[in-house]
Amino acid sequence: MILPDSITDKFKGTFPQLLAAIAGTLSCISDGMQYGWTAPVIPKLLADDSPFPVTEYQAEWLETILMLGACCGLPLTMYLVDKIGRKGSLIGSSSTTLVAWIVIAFAPCIEYIYVARFLAGLAGDTAFVAAPMYIAEMADQKIRGFLSSIIYLMMLAGVLLVYCVAPFVPLWVPCIIGIGFNSITLVALPFMPDSPYYLLFKDKPDEARKALQQLRPHGNTEAELKDIAVAIERQKSEKGRPQDLLLVKSNRKALMIMVWLNGSQHMSSISVMLMNLHSILEEAGAVHIASSTAAIIFSALMFCAAMSASLAIDNFGRRILLITSGIFAGLSLGVIAVYFTLQNWGYEVVQVSWVVALAVMCYAAAFKFGIGLVPIVLTAELFPAKMKAIGMTISDACYVGFSVISLQVYHQLKNSFGIHVPFYIFACWCFGTVVFTLLFIPETKGKTLEEIQFILKGEHRTELESSQNSSENNRTDRTP
């Protein structure tokens, strides 16, 4: 009886926030579909019955174009989230992705799909910066971790959906599904409140009050509005120049944490796994399994693990999930590396090749339980209001950059020294993330965004409480 009561208390009065979070992230299902679209679709484009002629070289560019769009979207994202707001950026992103799906559905040749994929990458970059900002700034701290993780759940649902549907239907069917999700977003999101932090930052106190009342219908909105206003004024008084990411200690620490965690997401081999899963299993001599089936199982395990982590993140904290994930993902990759080492030395290991398939699936669950989920939560929590746009955009740039680096590390080392070598590196990076978490990453569970800034500045909890108590006493002394 204790667990249901605690869950009920945790979510009590937060339905408007949950509704806003779902409306703000629903289009991320479409973005996830775009991310996973090439795996099941490229074989169809290369087949004899392809709707138009496509060479292997042209097909290889379909993934690269998406990442190029994401890179080009970085400066635009940094501008939009502060200029038109978090909600406005999400509406613009969803509109762009909708156009991309329409172009793909009616594309008469591969060049049209290139344009659509570029637009999808640009829009996806905007969504994955604006959505965490929107949620972190409007959510109650007791459920902020859960709500912030919804964006990854939506993305994984999109990957799983396109893996399940695209191999078995005409090319236009996934487009219709993607258009549907974006259309729902464009209908629902305009009715949701904008971020109170953003509205106060833009000197719109009346709109901020109205938004907060919508989000906290039973809360003390005036008191919270004052706290947010104080935090905004303090953060406005601080410099917001790009170089202050390095010159200001708290910003520098936040940036260091996010660069490492975004690097860890790819240097723990997730892009390598997603794009080379079947070839890895084939090289291991594992029991033959259709590539579409392996991809579905892999993505389903990631989704289930991410769902479990999203429910646990506000109860157990961010650090414990990162540590647990790093240990088990590292062990799974280590098993794969040892297997390929023995194979490379000439040992007959094909009889236990099932170990590789098992390790790959264990990795999928372990990765998404922490390393693949927690960074998206922390990235919107660690940067102050004035540095949030540039800080999160640079973090996103690192995410894109490390995806390319991890793929190059895998292919270059595999071709030069054997497939076991990159897996040793990926395993070591996972264990390095465990050490990094223990040494540098603060626990943000249950903390307000203002408290997190004090922690990054190195102020002790007792000092912060003393300052708050002193402020409360002063207000009490002035009460007649």
Per-residue pLDDT reduced to its tens digit, 149-176: 888 889 889 988 998 998 889 999 999 9
389 or 350: which carries more pLDDT confidence?
350
Residue 9 binned pLDDT confidence (cut-offs 50, 70, 90):
low
For the chain, what is the mean pLDDT?
Answer: 84
The number of beta carbons lying within 10 Å of the beta carbon of residue 58 is 17
Inform me whether the pLDDT recorded for 181 exceeds 70: yes
Domain 245-475 carries which CATH code? Answer: 1.20.1250.20
Report the amino acid identity of residue 101. Answer: W
Give the pLDDT score at 6.
52
Closest CA to 122 of 79, 178, 185, 76: 76
Residue 457 φ then ψ, to 5°: -75, -10
- Over residues 237-257, the pLDDT tens digits come to 665 677 777 778 888 898 899
Report the distance separating Cα 373 and Cα 367, nearest Å.
8
Same fold, 14-192 and 245-475: yes
Q: So what's the pLDDT on residue 288?
A: 61
Looking at per-residue confidence, does 282 or 80 come out higher?
80
Q: At residue 334, does pLDDT exceed 50?
A: yes
Per-residue pLDDT at 470: 43
Highest mean pLDDT among 270-279, 348-357, 391-400: 348-357
Average confidence (pLDDT) over 266-291: 78
Does 277 score more than 80 pLDDT? no
- When pLDDT is averaged across residues 14-31 and rounded to a whole number, the result is 91
pTM, entire model: 0.77
pLDDT confidence band for 352 (50 / 70 / 90): confident
> Residue 151 CB: number of other CB atoms within 10 A?
27
Which amino acid appears at position 378 of this protein? L
pLDDT exceeds cutoff 70 at 236: no
| Better-scored residue on pLDDT, 430 or 46 | 430
- In CATH terms, 14-192 corresponds, of 1.10.287.470, 1.10.730.10, 3.40.718.10, 1.20.1250.20, to 1.20.1250.20
Between CA 185 and CA 131 the distance in angstroms is 12
More confident residue, 290 or 83: 83
Mean pLDDT of 107-130: 92
Q: What ranges do the domains of the chain cover?
A: 14-192, 245-475
- Res 462 pLDDT > 80: no
Secondary structure letter of residue 170 according to DSSP: -
Residue 199 φ then ψ, to 5°:
-65, -40
Q: How confident is the model at residue 324 (pLDDT cuts 50, 70, 90)?
A: very high
448: buried, middle or exposed (CB in 10 Å: 19+, 13-18, 0-12)? middle
> What average pLDDT score do residues 292-304 get?
84
